[in-house]
A and B are shown apart, each in its own frame.
Chain A
């Protein structure tokens, strides 16, 4: 039972990562910040770290059981 929960969560997380890393959500962040440079790379790094943190949370919680 436990394993399938982790599996569903991982699939959900992968879909979330796809949503965040692909247009059209991606296009929302492709605009200049106040320095004039595009904030796209910053957005990607933050989304990336968020996905990793969620993955760590899902997988390590399962690990303890």
Chain B
């Protein structure tokens, strides 16, 4: 099965599947049913971090330097833990400003600077190109191991001709793939959904392949992990292999590599592409923050067992970098080596695809476009449509990058081992970290500082890592490393300024970061920012604040026609129509439209150009048609600065308005109450007037009769005079009661509380009223206890109440056989004095109303003839007095007779003698 043909069929069959998946992903995207809109796919796409370097190189690194391979994955774990702040911020900025690469991001942060874009792109291409070459080399190498085993791959490859190198053909297929799925539309800020789907699929394949191999090694070649580890422990040369002593630079090297991996995870162009540009929904970052580290754990789980097994196998296992293939090959298996080969292929192709897209975008937008724009002004006919050109440039860039990568691999690739190139690339990418991360959080960082830092850091990187690498490849004299250039010892690239004993990566990282951060901070502190830089810096550092990214305003002027021509030229007609439609809601402009373009439209046009050409070029183009003041920077900055204050004011205002609402509610309630009281007062006044008028009317009528009729009979005269006297008494009683009521309600009634025997008081009251009862022919029964019933009360007032109750009872008792019962009894802690009659009683719903002022009970069918009518104020006054005395007065159903029962309740006094003192 290990024939050339089978392995090639597998490899290209696998690539064909990638095409199908990518095509499917793009189709679903066009239908609006995205398959990559899930945190799982996002996680898997980030796993493009695990390249062939992971797949083959981790085992190699574990075999040679123990646990240090884990640092490459612990770093991203740390970075992802902070992803919810950092990556989310970058995603938000990139989305708002249509940023398409890390070069664009850094250039946009520092005032859309063309120079920084060029710088970042150059560093990326120089630093990352070897890394792409490394992937192609891994493909060639693994294929040679697969087909040539047990012949060492070096020999197999030596027999091959240039044109038969598999990685050349793989690179060409990948170029087609990337052109098809990576440059479908000009607007690079639109996501490459098909490409991302294919990458996610590749991440599954490489993980599965490695796990299958791991299970095979641990449970097939050995009887489980314990067996493997005990066999390894028995070999004296392997005993120290898993400790820190195996790590280059020991503890210091450990820290350095961890920092390097953390920084590189964020700044590698392909990671920026999948983390930021291809992110569909920022909420996915949250899930990926822990699922991606979990993926890393899974893919590293079997690295140490495989490495130990390879070391135990001896010479048959060949180079450590190819243990994953040679272990199953040495066991004589057929299918498993193919699966592993496909796994390695998936790891390599995934990296090449994403990295090439990222680099080609950077090269076309930040190297070629700025050149083209200058050249263009000199030569090209301005009416010419350039949108086709732009896609062409990007496609050529893709092919060139892949070919360069291949040539690098084919010509000089043998000089480095896999791991070395990987970490050298990491160190190059890490040079973006200060400009990127400081730029995200420090508003004062400026473009001059960033450029100085990048150049300085890159030069130190080249001197401490790249140059010695050339020496090791044999292109330069070894004396450079051992004695330093021109024999100057303190310039030795691996021990700069005498800093010896460090591993080369920590050493390079330290010096390059020192120079990079130092220049960035120092230059930023001592130079000024341009206005545009200030705005962009503010927008970037404040990106997580809501609504900040919508602030830019154009104040310059241009016509819609000019804008239309510009967009049409660079984006093509369809995209131009989309921009105008999005703004206007309809297609209304054409190239000859002379009306003024609104600021929103100019902003949208700039964003559309940024998505296609990068922010720096877009800026240049917009400036070429917009006249006058471009951006109102002062306004934007002041908006940003005042946002915090505004938020605080808003919060306070909200509090105030809540308070006001509550007070308003209270006022409304109080108003209701006042209106009600007002209404009651009016009613009361009306009733009082009415009650006063009735006796007055009769007094006046009888008095007039007496005045006008001098010859009236004496008896009649006396009768009339009697009526006048009676009505006058009634009038004065009424007035007295009204005064009482007024005192009660205003709280000015004076009571003289003293200890009173309620029993005695009740008896005295009956004595006072006996005459009346006799007149009315009503029997009064008493049920009073023998003991004394002490209460605290004003005796006069209490007697007034009791008499009032007895009087009422006699009025409403049965007209023929009137009967009233007065009863006093103890009731818990109170005394209850009840007065009950045998009249018709009071209906349940009427019982509270009798305590309303001027309420008169309707006496059905009978008039209280011969009995004076009440004023309707007696009961309200009584209740008021009892309430003042701390008791209660209410009506209830009859207990012994048939009518109403009115009850006075007053609290008992327990020890009257003591209280009297």
B255 touching A23, Cβ below 8 Å: yes
Inter-subunit contact A48/B82 (CB<8 Å): no
Type the 1/0 row for A30-65, where 1 means its CB is closer than 8 Å to any CB of B. Answer: 111001111011001100110110011001101100
How far is B298's CA from A49's CA once the two chains are assembled, in angstroms?
Answer: 10
CA distance A30 to B293 in the complex (A): 23
Contact A37 B242 (CB under 8 A): yes
Chain A residues touching B, range? 20 to 34
Contacts of A56 in B (CB 8 A): 290
A64 to B244, CA, bound (A): 41
Asked if B490 is an interface residue, CB under 8 A from chain A, the answer is no
Minimum C-beta distance from B546 to chain A (A)? 12
Task: Give A14 to B85 CA distance when docked, in angstroms.
Answer: 12
Does B251 have its Cβ within 8 Å of any Cβ on chain A?
A: yes
Q: Collect the chain B residues with CB atoms within 8 Å of residue A22's CB.
A: 254-255, 258
- Report B54 CB to chain A, min CB distance, Å: 16
* CB <8 Å contact, B243 and A40: yes
- In the bound complex, residues from chain B placing their C-beta under 8 Å from that of A21 are 74, 78, 258
Measured between alpha carbons, how far is A35 from B239 in the docked complex, in Å? 9
Query: Are A40 and B242 interface neighbours, CB within 8 A?
Result: yes
Does the CB pair A17–B84 fall under 8 Å? Answer: no
Cβ of A52: which chain B residues have Cβ within 8 Å of it? 77, 290, 293-294, 297
On whether A48 and B77 interact (CB within 8 A), knowing A23-B251, A35-B230, A37-B232, the answer reads: yes
State the CA gap A41–B241 with chains docked (Å): 11
How distant is B430 from chain A, measured CB to nearest CB, in Å? 18
Main secondary structure of the interface of B (DSSP, over half): helix
Contacts of A6 in B (CB 8 A): 84
Q: Do B242 and A17 touch across chains, with their CB atoms under 8 A apart?
A: no
Contact call A37/B239, Cβ cutoff below 8 A: yes
Residues from chain B with a CB closer than 8 A to the CB of A23 are: 251, 254-255
Query: Could you tell me if A30 and B82 are in contact, using CB atoms closer than 8 angstroms?
Result: no
Interface of chain B residues 287 through 303 with chain A (CB within 8 A): 287, 289-290, 293-294, 297, 301
CA distance A35 to B233 in the complex (A): 6
- Bound complex: CA A48 to CA B67 (Å): 13
Closest B residue, CB atoms, query A20: B74
In the complex, whether B583 has a CB less than 8 A from a CB of chain A is no
Judge whether B77 and A38 touch: CB under 8 Å. Answer: no
Given A18-B78, A52-B297, the answer on whether A41 and B304 have CB atoms closer than 8 Å is: yes
Cross-chain contact A59 with B297 (CB below 8 angstroms): no
In the complex, number of A-B residue pairs with CB atoms less than 8 Å apart: 96
B229 engages A37 (CB within 8 Å) = yes
Q: Total interface residues on B, using CB and 8 Å?
A: 35
Question: B289 to chain A: closest CB distance in Å?
Answer: 6
Contact A45 B297 (CB under 8 A): yes
**Within the assembled complex, what's the spacing in Å between the Cα atoms of A61 and B58?**
34
Tell me whether A38 and B233 are in contact in the complex, defined as CB-CB below 8 angstroms, given that A7-B85, A59-B287 are known contacts: no
Q: Name the A residues within 8 Å of B232 (CB-CB).
A: 37
Tell me whether A14 and B81 are in contact in the complex, defined as CB-CB below 8 angstroms, given that A37-B229, A38-B240 are known contacts: yes
Q: Is B243 within 8 A of A49, CB to CB?
A: no
Q: Which residues of A contact B293 (CB under 8 A)?
A: 48, 51-52, 55
Please name the residue on chain B nearest to A48 by beta carbon: B297
Q: Which residues of A contact B240 (CB under 8 A)?
A: 38
A47 to chain B, nearest CB (A): 9
A51 x B297 contact (CB < 8 A)? no
CA distance A48 to B290 in the complex (A): 11
B286 at the interface (CB under 8 A from A): yes
The answer to whether A40 and B77 touch across the interface, beta carbons within 8 angstroms, is no
The answer to whether A26 touches B78 (Cβ under 8 A) is no
Q: Which residues of B contact A40 (CB under 8 A)?
A: 66-67, 242-244
The contact string, 1 if C-beta is below 8 Å from chain A, for chain B 118-139, is 0000000000000000000000
Q: For residue A51, which residues in chain B have a CB less than 8 angstroms away from its CB?
A: 77, 81, 293
Q: How far is the CA of A11 from the CA of B84 in the complex (A)?
A: 10
Residue contact B243 to A38, C-beta cutoff 8 Å: yes
A62 touches B286 (CB 8 A): yes
Contact of A32 with B239 in the complex, beta carbons under 8 Å: yes
Nearest A residue to B229, CB-CB: A35
- Answer yes or no: B778 CB below 8 A from chain A CBs: no
Asked, given contacts A36-B239, A40-B67, whether A59 binds B78 with beta carbons under 8 Å apart, the answer is no
Q: Can you name 20 A-B pairs with beta carbons within 8 Å?
A: A6-B84, A14-B82, A21-B78, A21-B258, A22-B254, A22-B255, A30-B245, A31-B243, A36-B233, A38-B244, A40-B242, A41-B66, A44-B70, A48-B293, A48-B297, A52-B297, A59-B84, A59-B287, A59-B290, A63-B286
Shortest beta-carbon contacts, A-B, top 4: A38-B243, A36-B233, A55-B290, A35-B233
Given contacts A35-B229, A35-B233, A37-B239, 18 further A-B contacts (CB under 8 A): A14-B81, A21-B258, A22-B254, A22-B255, A26-B251, A31-B243, A38-B67, A40-B67, A40-B244, A44-B74, A45-B301, A52-B77, A52-B293, A52-B297, A55-B293, A59-B289, A63-B286, A63-B287
